[in-house]
Amino acid sequence: MATITTTDGTRIFYKDWGTKDAQPIVFSHGWPLSADAWDAQMVFFASKGFRVIAHDRRSHGRSDQVWDNNTMDQYADDLAELIEALDLRGAILVGHSTGGGEVTRYVGRHGTARIAKVALIGAVPPLMLKTEANPGGLPIDVFDGIRKGTYDNRSQFFKDLVVPFYGYNRPGKVLSDGIRDSFWLQGMMGGLKGQLDSIRAFSESDFNADLRKFDKPTLVLHGDDDQIVPIDASAHSTVKIVKHAVLKVYEGADHGLTQTHQDRFNADLLDFIKG
């Protein structure tokens, strides 16, 4: 297994496929998943001549399960250490959901010297939590419910979460046992403490200041039937801050659109990268 060891001694697992001297695409996964969530995209883009990299966030997947430092700042710093360890330049950063927050905080903390473009997919910025300054966010009770479900019986909670995550509760949609099994397996590979901490990281982190530092071409792609990260409080707000961002909305699409709309998503991301 390929890993790096961060400055605080945490081993981060990563995949590195394709042509090593090609332009790199770095994928950051959502909660509670792992790099495996990007396998189809990695095969697709590697076959198009890119170098593709995806890591397991600390306390997720095959990376070390740590008690402390499961924070958005640390996630961004881990991403920075991976990019620097592999000496990536001109990279395309692609983040889904919590991974979109990780990528955004990376830009806020580490700048854009090593990156060429950014794609935020169903991403949590600028802020998921409802506050006086962010009335369009979700109430804290929503995230407390996620915490309780994860703590009480995360195995069952992950199986149940698949339904709204992929929009299987919508008319005409048929639940995929394969997607549910993969989601459950990836979730159960992670550590409970880190996953609980990550709920706070993705829900309460304010990315407004980070988004204002974006100075590279940016794609904001979101499903307008996303039941996990509602589009009005996320993508629509993000493009008001990142003025040069391109917004692409998938009508009727769910939170897991990288899988449920896989071919369309891969083609749109390729067009953005080549454009």
Catalytic residues: 97, 226, 255
Nearest to 182 by CA among 37, 6, 61, 32: 37
Q: How many CB atoms lie within 10 A of CB 135?
A: 8
Report how far residue 40's alpha carbon sits from residue 263's, in angstroms, rounded to the nearest whole number: 9
What tokens appear for 80 in the block? 């920075």
Residue type, 212: R
- Maximum distance among all alpha carbons in the chain? 49
Whether residue 171 has a cis bond before it, omega within 30° of 0:
no
Helix (H) or strand (E) holding 24: strand 24-28
Report how far residue 160's alpha carbon sits from residue 244's, in angstroms, rounded to the nearest whole number: 38
